[in-house]
């Protein structure tokens, strides 16, 4: 059984009208406005008390946590960049070493003569 979309549109429109009307009436009611102001002040006090409790327990705030995550991401990118640079530097050093050994004759390492103790 299909629902008439025109009917749904009319119901939605009527619901919006009623909501707007009720909201306007509430906003013009001084008692309601005082109650809302009191509720907002209460919420602010609860928020401040909760923040104080969280701080005293040494728990990071959402802002501090987000800041730490951003810093961790930045450090991870720096580490990745440094790893890439190190890899390139090692490859360049290896290529330079290989080119150097191909062009110059191989040399035997020079060893120092060991001193022997003489009875004396």
What pLDDT digit, counting tens, does each position of 6-57 carry? Answer: 888 999 999 999 999 999 999 999 999 999 999 999 999 999 999 899 889 9
Q: Where are the domains of the chain?
A: 18-59, 62-102
Residues contacting residue 27 through CB under 8 Å, at least 6 positions apart? 33
Per-residue pLDDT tens over the stretch 60-112:
888 999 999 999 999 999 999 999 999 999 999 988 888 777 655 555 566 66
Q: pTM of the full predicted structure?
A: 0.43
Residues contacting residue 55 through CB under 8 Å, at least 6 positions apart? 61
CA distance 59 to 39: 27
> How confident is the model at residue 115, as a pLDDT?
63
């Amino acid at each position: 059984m299909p629902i008439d979309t025109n009917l749904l549109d009319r119901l939605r429109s009527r619901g919006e009208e009623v909501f707007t009307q009720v909201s306007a009436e509430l906003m013009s009611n001084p008692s309601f406005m005082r109650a809302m102001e009191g509720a907002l002040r209460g919420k602010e006090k609860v928020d401040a008390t909760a923040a104080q409790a969280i701080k005293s327990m040494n728990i990071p705030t959402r802002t501090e946590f987000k800041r730490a995550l951003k810093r961790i991401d930045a450090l991870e990118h720096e580490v990745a960049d440094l790893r890439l640079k190190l890899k390139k530097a090692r490859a360049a050093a290896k290529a330079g070493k290989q080119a150097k050994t191909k062009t110059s004759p191989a040399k035997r390492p020079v060893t120092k003569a060991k001193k022997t103790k003489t009875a004396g």
